[in-house]
Structure formats: structure tokens, C-alpha cells
Amino acid sequence: MLKISLKQNLIKLGIAFFFTYSSVAIALPVVSIFVKESLNLSNWLGGFAVGVSFISTIFSRKYAGNFADNKSSKKCFILGFIIYMFAALICMGASISNLGVIVSFMILIVGRLLLGIGESMSTVGITGWHLLQLGPEHSGKILAVMGMAMYGAFVLGGPMGLALYKAFGFNAVMAVSFIMPIIGIMLFRTAPEIKPQKFTNRTKKSFWGLLSLIWKQGVTITLQGIGFAVLGAFISLYFQNQGWPYAGAGLSLFGLGFVISRILFGSLPDKKGGVKVALASLIVEALGQGLLWMAPHYALALLGALLTGLGCSMIYPAMGVEVIKKVSPAQRSTAFGGFSMFQDIAYAFSAPIGGVIADRFGYSSIFLLGFIAAITGIAIVCSMIEYKYNEY
């Protein structure tokens, strides 16, 4: 019975989060192109528009974690889904004619900032709810399914967003982004409320105290996230600049590699521990970023995107399993909020920094940044191998 219940819950999670996160994935490759082509602004501002949503995510992670731990994890993620919808409507307003470039850009930024808050509430809330529903022994599977759904959305969402943009314009992309979260809301509308676990003052740690426990795991996903962030923001422009075909295929192959890795290796962190899985994954990501940096032909660049997806895929759940070992059950959502914040940092700052690098040194040099980050991540994970945890 438990096995059937576990399977059903994970399938429902995957379907709901796939459609909901498609709201984000459809817009991701389009935002920087809209800023550059429609608003005639520079690459770094396009990168800023992509990355700014993660700034609001960073600052709302603590609130989302406390909300899920102390009030309701279900209400937390349902609210996040609704915020996604409002964010899409606001971003749609950026394409209204006769507003002027500055006003349109500022409207877009407001929508992207709101999207970041929705990201925080939805991911923290739905993770916390499933940890309470299924138990921490399945944490690796929960995170693997969530990531598979999220980045599986990029397989379809990236090309769909580009196709919609080319055929119907920016408004069509945002309209679809508005619709997608409704599916997730409908699937979980009858899900039961689960009472948060209580903690005593003796076991409760401050948010910063939790971060001090998990900083190595957090920094690892920051470094992992750099490769994804620069790929997601600039691979389409990179291909266009090189005169290569299949500009939309790079993000799709990244997502495909991500999903394949989650399907094949999703249970490994629960069985083998997160450190070994993260180490192998970072090596593969470094190879992918190196290929993108030095590729003389689009086929090698596409292979680099695929390898980056294969490598990035298991790092978050691998380190997440290690985080679970280090925190009390009553503060898991708050801890995961802080843990995810490290990845948000990569997403917030990598795209604008990558835009500056692209303007000065060319698009290929962006992926050198991702390569260096992955190599640094390998060094940090190696330092964890002999580290002994003080578990609760």
C-alpha cells in the first residue's frame, strides 16, 4: 500500500509541477530576446531581466520556509502558483505600445520580481508538503521528481516559448505562462492539509544558524547553478551570433539530459549518499561547459548542452539529501528555503554578469565562467568526503 501511495504521490507531483513550472520555462529564453530585439537594450540588461527574479526569490526564501513550517505548506505552494499567474499578466504589460522603452522595461522587471516570489513560495511549500506526506527517507526521490518536472518543462517550454514569440509575439508567451499554473492548482485543490511539526526552543535554530550548518552544500549548488543560468539566458543568442541552426535545441537538450539523469539515477542519493553523486555530476557538468566554451561547430555545442543537463541534474537532490541529515524535522522547509537560496544567488547574478562578459569578450566566453564554477564545485565536494555529520 505504501509503495502504491508513494508512486501515486510522486506522479502527481511530477505532473503538477511540470505544467506549473512551464510558466517559467516558456518565458526564460524569450525575456532576453525581447529586451534586446523589441526594447533595443544591451545584453547585460537582457541578462538582468532574466536574473532579477532570483533576487526576489533570495529575499523571500526565509519567509516561505517559515510560512510552510509554521502555517501551512499547502497554502504556501498554492499561493506561489497564483503569484506565477499574476507575474505573467504584469510581464504582458511590458509589450504595450507607446509606453516607452524605460517604462516597458520597468514593468517587465516588476513582473519578473513577482515571479521570483512565486518561485520561492511554490518550491519551498511543495517540497515541505511532500516531505511531511511521504517522509524524509524519500527526500531524494521527492527532489529528483521535482527537478525532473522543472527541467522537463524546459524540453518543451523553451522551444515552445521561442516558437510562440516568433509567430505571435511576447503577449502570446505570457498568456500561456498565465494558464499553466491553473493545472497545478486544480490537481492539488483537494490535497489534505498536513499540520506542521512542532519544535522546542532547544531544538529550534535561527535561519542563519541553519545556513551555518549547510553552507558547503549550498555553495555547491551555487556553483552548479552558474552553468545552467548562463546556458538558459544566452545559448539561443550564442547560436544566433555564431550563425548556427537549432538555436532552440540547446535548451531542449539541456532539459532532456536533465530528465534522463533524474530517471536513471534519481534514487542514488538515497541509496549511496549525496557526496559521491554530486562529485560525479560536477565532473560531467564541467565537461559540458568546456565543450560549449570551445565548440567550433554547433554539434559539439549541442553535445555540451546535453552534458551540462546530465551533470546539473543530480547535484541539487544529492546535496539536498545531505541537508536533510543535518537539520531537525520541524525546520526542514526553512532549511530548504535557505539551501535553495544558494542556487538563487547563482541564477540572480550569473545572467547579468554573463551579459557583461558577452558584450566584452563574446558569447563563448560565458561558458568559461560555468566551467570554472564547476571545477571549483568539485573541490568543495571533495572536502566533504571525510566530513562527519552530527545528525539529529
CATH number at residue 359: 1.20.1250.20
Average pLDDT, integer, range 181-192: 89
| Highest averaged pLDDT of the listed ranges 61-65, 76-80, 234-238, 360-364 | 76-80
Kind and range of the H or E run holding 23: helix 2-33
Q: Does 167 fall in a domain?
A: yes
Position 137 confidence tier, pLDDT thresholds 50, 70, 90: confident
The pLDDT of residue 2 is 45
State residue 388's pLDDT score.
46
More confident residue, 9 or 19: 19
Residues 188/74, Cβ–Cβ less than 8 Å: yes
The pTM of the full predicted model, rounded to 2 decimals, is: 0.75
Distance between CA atoms of 108 and 30, rounded to whole angstroms? 12
Half-sphere exposure of 45 (CA within 13 A, CB side): 16
137-141, 165-169, 323-327: least confidently modelled range: 137-141
The pLDDT value recorded for residue 88 is 94
Tally of CB atoms within 10 A around 85: 18
State which H helix or E strand residue 164 sits in: helix 139-168
Residue 69 lies in a domain: yes
Q: Is 331 helix (H, G, I), strand (E, B) or coil?
A: helix
Helix or strand run (H / E) with residue 335: helix 332-361
Single-letter code of the amino acid located at 171: N
Residue 185 has pLDDT above 70, yes or no: yes
CA-CA distances (angstroms) from residue 154 to 74, 102, 129? 25, 29, 24
The yes-or-no verdict on residue 154 having pLDDT over 90 is no
Upper half-sphere CA count for residue 361 (Cβ side, 13 Å): 12
Q: Above 60 in pLDDT, residue 1?
A: no
How far, in Å, CA of 38 to CA of 171, rounded?
A: 12
Which cell goes with 319?
546535496
Task: Examine residue 389 and state whether it is found in any structural domain, yes or no.
Answer: no
* pLDDT the model gives residue 203: 63
Average pLDDT, the chain: 86
Is residue 391 in a domain? no
Nearest of 210, 213, 216, 221 to residue 330 by alpha carbon: 210
| Choice between 133 and 373, residue whose per-residue pLDDT is larger | 373
Residue 301 falls within a domain, yes or no?
yes
Would residue 197 count as lying in a domain?
no
Closest CA to 210 of 221, 199, 218: 218
Q: Is residue 198 part of a domain?
A: no
What is the arithmetic mean of pLDDT over 307-321? 91
Name the H helices within 34-138.
Answer: 43-70, 73-92, 101-134
Split at pLDDT 50, 70, 90, the class of 84 is very high
**Residue 21: inside a domain, yes or no?**
yes
Contact between 320 and 139 under an 8 Å Cβ cutoff? The reply is yes
Give the range of the structural domain holding residue 287, as residue numbers without chain letter.
9-187+204-384
Q: Which of 373, 376, 391 is nearest to 321 (CA)?
A: 391
* Structural domains counted in the chain: 1
- CB burial class (10 A; 0-12, 13-18, 19+) of residue 295? buried
Backbone CA torsion sign across 58, 59, 65, 67: negative
